A and B are shown apart, each in its own frame.
Chain A
Amino acid sequence: MSHFLTTKQFRFSLLLTAGLLFPAIVQSASVQVPSMGIKTISEAMLRTRVGDTVWVEKGVYRERILIAPGVTLASRQLFGAVIDGGGRGIVVTMGKSTTISGLEVRNGTIGVFSNGSGNTITQCRIINNWQTGLMIVRHLPKVEDNVIAFNRASGIQGWDVRSTNATINHNSIVYNGNHGIAVGGSSELILENNVVAFNERFGIKILSQAERIQISNNNFYRNLQSPKPIPSGNFSFDPAFLAPRTNMNFKSDPARCCKAKGTDNEELGARLVY
């Protein structure tokens, strides 16, 4: 944890991302947690309007959060703000056109739940939930550069998920108790440049109805052997994580990895700087 990006760097990258995605945010208000009269993120959410950003300082926030439509929730420091669900419930429920960034979401029944359109989940660590890490229904949010690990059920569970202008891109979906990614219903989504490894069951489980799923340039490694082969155009090699259990560091060891790069010629999995 000591090798995180500096606060300044991380804030800049978040602002840049948010600015590109939602130009309106640039002119919007910011709410600080904690600040005068605001101790919890939930309290901060009550004071937001569409386009606002809630900046969360380093700390553990033991609460379950409903993100108001159009609001961005971001940690000042990469994984500095930890939202702990206390062992039960959905830790973060995303409204429409919301963004979460830089957070660690843990210890809920479900880590993050998203069913609205225009959502973004980026640079988050969704870990140690008692069921699913990220549950997606209907609209696929932009899921990019996240670590989704050590959840007791699937890393990502989707149903009727439609990818219209978002993808599941550059995530490390690893060490989950069920499947890495499980999708069903009339799902149509795009998976690219992810590392899906060491999950107890299948790397990806696609129910028969969900036929239009594009899976390319992902690394599927040491998941349970599936009767359905992984489509060509994907890889299988040891991602050689540096310290996944002790430091939650899912960066690949350059001395032992990697055989392939993503479609953007970058390293597969979450592109995080620890």
Chain B
Amino acid sequence: MIRFLKRYFKQSLIALTLLMSTGQMMTASAQGGHPGEFLVTQRWQYLLSSRNALANPALINEENYLSIKGAYSSIMNEFRLFEVGAAIPINLYQTAGVSILHYGVSPYARTDAQGGMIGDSISDSKTYVALTYAINPWKGLSIGANINLLSENFDAVKNFSAGVDLGITYRIINNSFLGHHVLGLDLQNLVMATLNPATNTQQYPRTLRISLNSTYWERRVESSLELAYKDIGTPGTEFLNGAVSGDMDLNARVGVWIFRIATVNGLLGWGPEGPEHLGVSIGANFPSMNNGRDLSVAYQFLDVLNGEDQDAPNHTIYIKGDFGKHREEVYARRMAKLVNYLPNDLYVKAINFYNQGNFWDAFFIFSQLHVEYPDFFKNDWVSYFIGSCQEEMDMRVTSEEAYRQTKEKFDRSAAVPFADLGMMRIYYRDNNYHLVERQFNELNKLGVPDSLKYHAYYIMGQSEMSQGNNAKAKQLFDLIPETHPDFVFAQHSAAVSEATGGNIEGAISHLENCIQAPVTTKAQKEIVNRSYVFLGYMFYEDLTKQEGPLAKAVTALRSVPKESYFYPDALVGLAWTALKARQWADCMTAGQELITIAPSVVLKAEGTLLVAYADMMQKNYAAAASLLEGAAKDLEQFTGPDEGGYSAKQQEYESSRSSYTQIARGAYDLGTARQSGFVLKQIDSLHTLQKDAKAKLDEFLKFSDNYKRTSMFAKNVQSVKEDVEYALAKAQKLAGSKVQIKENQKANEKANAIDQQLEDLKKQLEQENKKKEGQ
């Protein structure tokens, strides 16, 4: 689309000389043809012409990523060209693109017809914008078009033009041995018109180009062949000698890739007068640095072989990068979205309920999904979550069944190890250690994520501990890495295991690991608090034989925050430690706080007992007795569980659990029924029953926990009761003795005073008797 500026011929002679040196147009210029045929030849970017919209708009369909490229070309540092362009795949079959070029020569001196300098200088530059669209409508055929806008600025005269290029390509061969070949046909400037017809009567050259772009053996070898027939329909009057019109050029390129990183290309141009140019290019591609996409740089050198400007070689630098997503990935994403959104929405809703801890509602939505959308692509997880919701609601039997079903129906799903872990937890809670071990073996198989394996180690360790295999348990706990969420739990359990085996230093080491580990969840924080209490207990009992054990115990126990579940235990520990250290005031403070905050009668009584001890140590027996009397009354009224009571409660619990399983089965039946108004009502009714039954189960578990509460400082109800009664008796006795001593002292004093009086009277009588005898 470069035109011949006949009327500026004399002034632009130097420019012509420079422009002619770019290769293909050499022949034309030598014959007085079109100057500045850069856009016609595109030789500056010959290296990338196999995918260039300017060479053939249909070729951009060969791009698979958002592709951005740039080129800079220079001839003798006088002529410069810049190009930037982008191709954007729209879908599997369509691509859009844009190219912007700016080129021109440095301002040069104006000359007369004889070449003499006139004085001022001339500027000459052009800016070209092409918008491209290509589509693959049928078989291997792609059709593309450029809409071109050209702005020319020559010697302060501006001209604007617009035009259209049309190109087609056809993928003729894709063969593993013969290579991949794309045949192209392009008509440049099919339509081109000036937008300033009054001032510009120039005609733009029309070029027909046939190309064959080929790659062989996974692009190890590349080649391009191009035959261009130029100036189609341009009148001879447009040429200097008035006769030349339509010449042909042949351009060829062959390149090889070395290790898919470096490339070397040879270029050859052939015109009517024989070889026109010879070139070489080197380049490198770094797809590994760009996530598998092209990221390449290249340099091209062209040497002109004939004509008057053979000494004006052309240097070009290229850069090209692919970005974004591959065409196939875009299509795959789009297809993944073309599904029924309802099951997706239900799934998300159910997951949200699950994460909020609303397992009842989550369960019914998962069940609905399971029944109404059997082809939902996440049905393996749906099946797993049905089991998990039931597990969270402590519906052990039905949960285990659901997990088992997940394993059977979706045997290769990633949900299977999660189901295995869920089953393992249920078996552990049911004290079914044989099945715990079976699940542990399942979770130790190849392909199970490490994170799940570590969970399994923890549960298995707990199971071993429950069976008294402390050494095995400790081995398993030690396998859990610090980064795993179960690390703190495992370390605490390992400490218990060590302490049980008499290795106190080892226990302390594990407790320190637990305390120092980074924690985020509430459960993790609580186990750390429990570790503090345990540590305090071991120091209190002086099991460590370390120096200053009581001070260390106090430090550990004071680390338990007030909001912790273990704070009352820490207070009990602090009070006992203070008592042992003869710090009566501290003991009383801790005991009094315990009385205030303790959640149970038993703990309150223990607090009272400690305060009473402190009082007694300060000889406040009466105050101590008074406190203990209150505690003793409370304990008397407290119907704490005895062995028989506990057994009865346990039987009641078993019965409740059986009923609860029936409720769980009912829930499952309702969940897997097609949802209707009637079913929804039944679900609501069942929820009330479920909550009541679950409350009963929880109540027993709490009761059992209190009954078995013998760990560390805290004592069970019987023990506290006995201690309070003993202390009360002692205090009362001591208080009673003190009163007697005072009374005796008073009597003695009185007797002494009487004796003294009697003595005085006796002395008086003796003196009077002597006086009488003397008289």
Contacts and interface: CB of A to CB of B under 8 A. Distances in A.
B157 interface: no
B171 interface: yes
Interface string A130-162: 111001011100000000011011100111101
Contact of A163 (B64, B93, B414): B414
Contact of B329 (A130, A177, A182, A200): A182
B412 A164 contact: yes
B447 A216 contact: yes
Interface stretch (B77-85, B374-382, B503-511, B703-711): B374-382
A38 B376 CA distance: 35
Interface stretch (A45-53, A220-228, A251-259): A220-228
B335 A115 contact: yes
A164 B335 contact: no
A212 interface: yes
Contacts of A132: 328, 332
A244 B176 CA distance: 8
Interface residues of B, number: 46
B7 interface: no
A153 B180 CA distance: 13
Interface string A174-216: 0101110010110010100000001011100100000010101
Interface string B83-126: 00000000011000000000000000000000000000000000
Interface of A is mostly: loop
Nearest to A86: B139
A87 interface: yes
B140 interface: yes
B241 interface: no
B726 interface: no
A248 B174 contact: no
A192 to B, nearest CB: 9
B174 A152 contact: yes
B2 to A, nearest CB: 35
A48 B378 CA distance: 29
Interface string A108-141: 0110010111000000000110111001011100
A248 B379 contact: no
A135 B260 contact: no
Given A162-B378, A216-B446, A88 B139 contact: yes
A245 interface: yes
Nearest to A185: B336
A114 to B, nearest CB: 10
A167 interface: yes
A166 interface: yes
B405 interface: no
Contacts of A139: 375, 377
Contacts of B218: 175, 177, 198, 200
Interface string B367-390: 000000001011110000000000
A107 interface: yes
A207 to B, nearest CB: 8
A88 B413 contact: no
B764 to A, nearest CB: 114
Chain B interface, >50% SS class? loop
B92 A131 contact: yes
Contacts of B412: 163-167, 190
Contact of B327 (A88, A153, A245, A248): A153
Interface in B360-412: 375, 377-380, 409-412
Contacts of A58: none
Contacts of B287: 201, 224
B538 to A, nearest CB: 42
Contacts of B217: 245
Contacts of A162: 377-378, 380, 413
A87 B375 contact: no
Interface residues of A, number: 61
A131 B136 CA distance: 13
B413 A163 contact: yes
A128 B328 contact: no
B138 interface: yes
A2 interface: no
B292 A224 contact: yes
A150 B176 contact: yes
Contacts of B411: 165
B414 A130 contact: no
Contacts of A127: 176
B339 interface: yes
Nearest to B447: A214
A2 to B, nearest CB: 18
A135 B140 contact: no
Contacts of A135: 328, 331-332, 335
B685 interface: no
Contacts of A137: 332, 335-336
A94 B331 CA distance: 17
| Residue with the greatest number of chain A CB neighbours at <10 A, chosen from B64, B174, B260, B375 | B174
A226 B412 CA distance: 27
Interface string B626-641: 0000000000000000
Contact of A130 (B174, B288, B332, B410): B174
Contacts of B328: 110, 131-132, 135, 153-154, 157, 178, 182
Contacts of A200: 218-219, 260
A233 B446 CA distance: 10
Given A107-B174, A131-B92, A244-B176, A179 B292 contact: yes
Given A130-B174, A160-B336, A224-B287, A153 B64 contact: yes
A96 B446 CA distance: 31
Contacts of A128: 174-176
Nearest to A228: B291
Contacts of B339: 115, 138
Contacts of B288: 224-227
A94 to B, nearest CB: 13
B771 interface: no
A265 interface: no
Contacts of A87: 139-141, 171
B258 to A, nearest CB: 14
Contacts of A190: 412, 447
Contacts of B522: none
Interface string B266-299: 0000000000000000000001100110000000
Interface string A1-27: 000000000000000000000000000
13 contacts: A86-B139, A115-B335, A117-B377, A131-B64, A131-B328, A149-B176, A159-B329, A159-B336, A163-B412, A185-B333, A185-B336, A188-B413, A227-B291
Given A110-B92, A182-B329, 12 more contacts: A131-B92, A131-B331, A138-B336, A139-B375, A160-B336, A165-B410, A175-B176, A177-B218, A182-B328, A200-B219, A205-B291, A227-B288
Q: Which 4 A-B pairs have the closest CB atoms?
A: A87-B140, A159-B332, A138-B377, A87-B139
